[in-house]
Amino acid sequence: MEKDRELFHEYLVESLMDDYANLDEMKDHYRRGGLGDGTCKKFLINVLEKELAPIRAERAKWASDIGAVYDILHEGTLRAQQKTNATMARVQSAMRIDYFKDRTITGEWERLLKEANV
């Protein structure tokens, strides 16, 4: 995590901070005055734009092939349904509520109802 921070700091210094030697210099300038919020916001926008550019490019790529997106979603849905159905079958079996697969519970219900004179 610390290494990522250092790399990000270097990235800021090298690519976006032409007017400052480092981020601390920029912070100092802001604290003593003369560096307005607008300038800081523009700096932040530049950072965000650079970070979001590859994400936007990837999104545009997928937006141009919506059919493939739906195919991927459909395949994922089918896999999720298979896993969910298998899990639910295990749950129903463990709880003995798989009435249509294991009818032994009906015999137990009949016995209990007879004992209760219903």
Same domain? For 38 and 96 the reply is no
Domain of 60, in residue numbers: 1-64
Which of the listed residues 22, 47, 64 is the one where a domain comes to its end? 64
Instruction: Say what the pLDDT of residue 68 is.
Output: 97
Instruction: Say what the pLDDT of residue 58 is.
Output: 96
* Cα angle 10-38-7, degrees, rounded to a multiple of 5: 10
CA–CA separation, 46 and 39 (whole Å): 11
CA–CA separation, 75 and 82 (whole Å): 11
Same domain? For 31 and 80 the reply is no
Same domain? For 9 and 59 the reply is yes
CA–CA separation, 44 and 38 (whole Å): 10
Same domain? For 115 and 86 the reply is yes
| pLDDT averaged per 10 residues, the chain (length 118) | 64 60 79 84 84 94 96 98 96 86 81 86
